[in-house]
Structure 1
């Protein structure tokens, strides 16, 4: 089967689809117009530092993010408050720190699977106001991500196509979201544990894992994804498709973070699962998980 995908080009040339959302250049200094924006924010805690290169991922198990989150939570608990008496003797040992199913905290470097949270400095900027961007990769090409909290543009079944009829029928009831101003298509898939108990997604070698249980694919892999749905390896409802993406170069991202346009955040998989895509309240939810802070 020929692998085809629902990208901006295919929408316009093949499916006669025209998005109502147009890219808008941000008023950043020294911005490269051929790239687009990403995020990265410093954290005062050395614990939250991380590796930004996809080729240098930590060698811990797949739950290393949770381990780091526990360290961050422990540090917050162990740090003395501003009103505490430094001469007070504490007789009781500190209690073990636990984290819930949903958590989020800042990190000092962008990494695959992290979030870029727009600050209030981007209020009024058409595309990026109050956005939550998931970084799919951070390698030599530059940070690449998709916007998670935009309302769906339409459903796949509403598209008109003769060349991708087979694929569009498989994903007919899957919503299509605006992922960013640059032309191309991506999809996220998060199979349920029962459907993927043999690790079929990871073993396929076709999809890249963003974080535990969440994978992404490109136009080269959408045909294979449709075949997996037909073989009941994964359900069509476990997919989310995106029209467009965001891209930065490293220096541009650094400048925007230093200027305070973005906060770089690590979070648990449950925060940005498939069900969270299109949640317009995701920005507020993540800030709430991080606790009181100034996002302006």
Structure 2
């Protein structure tokens, strides 16, 4: 894969859009949209209500934390009094809220934007996907797209500087490592989590897509803006993680792989991503522990 795809106009375009599934589920998928332009906004989370005029009502932007709180409250209630948890919750039976802290994760039934895909034992022996944790960046109509979080490459931005067309970009991120994001050809970077004020500035640029509160992603089109944000002190270089390659599925392919037991699906807090650290295997074990390890055969 060409590291220079962040920076040059003649970078290798996205070619094959087939996810090499170990289970043989992979099918031919259409040309994806990240090769030359930004993703359409069709994958924006639709967890909101509408009034009679069709206008969206205001909701808590951190609805994932609200859902997590409900989940952990329910789990606690089941552990204390299963009979109470089995009936509809009332004001008289609602337990005190469980303190979930900054780092949390819980299982999901279906993949969604911002979720984690955790490789199960069925992927043991797969050179690419064994013990991987994938962050799903988008779940739009063209199919899910994500990056592997826990596969550091053997090359840093500084070591790859010779292939960079823009020395400013190589200089700004020279100390940051490159990560292997997946087998498909395109480059992404993650930005965050960070302070709410900085997140507002990042969002207002219109060049980054939000994955979850405080976490955005960008492509080669927005890396120049990322450099400017660093130069102005809005964000730091440690807020970034760069990925060479990505993972992609057809619209129903990922669901088939989840149902086949290849992946566990989990929601998580931004703190779980650990974007400022470089650990090859620790994230898989940590997420398994947070979600509750369960073998799938």
TM-score band by shorter chain is: 0.7 to 0.9
Deviation at 1:234, TM superposition (A): 1.7
Structure 1: state its 5+ residue gaps: 15-22, 36-52
The residue aligned with 1:20 is: none
Q: Is the 8 A contact 2:119 2:264 kept in 1?
A: yes
* 1:239 matched to 2:240: yes
* Cα distance in 1 between the residues matched to 2:113 and 2:170: 29
Q: Determine the C-alpha separation between the residues in 1 that align with 2:3 and 2:205.
A: 19
1:103-252 matches, within 5 Å, as 103-159=104-160, 160-161=162-163, 163-190=165-192, 192-193=194-195, 196-197=197-198, 199-252=200-253
Query: Alignment partner for residue 5 of structure 2, among 4, 7, 23?
Result: 7
Separation (CA, whole Å) in 2 of partners of 1:85 and 1:140: 41
> How many pairs were matched up?
262
Indicate the residue corresponding to 2:35 in structure 1: none
- How far off is 1:258 after superposition? 1.1
Taking structure 1 as the reference length, the TM-score comes to 0.78
Counterpart Cα distance in 1 of 2:109 and 2:202: 30
When normalised by structure 2's length, the TM-score is 0.78
Task: Write the distance in 2 (CA, Å) between the matches of 1:156 and 1:182.
Answer: 20
Structure 1 match to 2:70: 71
1:62 offset after TM fit, Å? 2.1
Instruction: After TM superposition, give the deviation of residue 5 of structure 1 in Å.
Output: 7.2
Q: Aligned in 2, Cα 1:239/1:75: closer, same or farther, shift over 3 Å? A: same
Matched residue SS, 2:47: coil
Counterpart residue number, 2:24: 29
1:220 & 1:93 partners in 2: Cα distance?
49
Shift of 1:190: 1.0
For the 8 Å contact 2:157–2:177, the answer to whether it is kept is: yes
Mapped contact 2:69–2:97 kept (Cα < 8 A): no
Tell whether the 8 Å contact from 1:6 to 1:243 is kept in structure 2 after alignment.
no
User: Deviations for 1:145-188, whole angstroms, at most 9, x for unmatched residues?
Assistant: 00001123311111113622221111111111100000010001
Structure 2: gaps (5+ residues): 13-17, 31-41, 49-58, 86-91
Name which structure has the greater RCO, CA cutoff 8 Å, separation 6+: 1
Please report the RMSD computed on the Cα atoms of aligned residues, expressed in angstroms.
3.2
Distance 1:101 1:208, change over 3 A: same
Distance in 2, matches of 1:64 and 1:84, equals: 28
Provide the rounded CA distance (Å) in 2 between the counterparts of 1:93 and 1:182: 47
Q: Kindly state the Cα deviation for residue 24 of structure 1 after the two structures are TM-superposed.
A: 9.1
* Preserved CA contact (<8 Å) 1:190 1:214: yes
**CA displacement at 1:69 relative to structure 2:** 0.6
Shift of residue 77, structure 1, vs aligned partner = 2.1
Instruction: Give the corresponding residue for 1:42.
Output: none
CA distance in 2, matches of 1:24, 1:256: 11
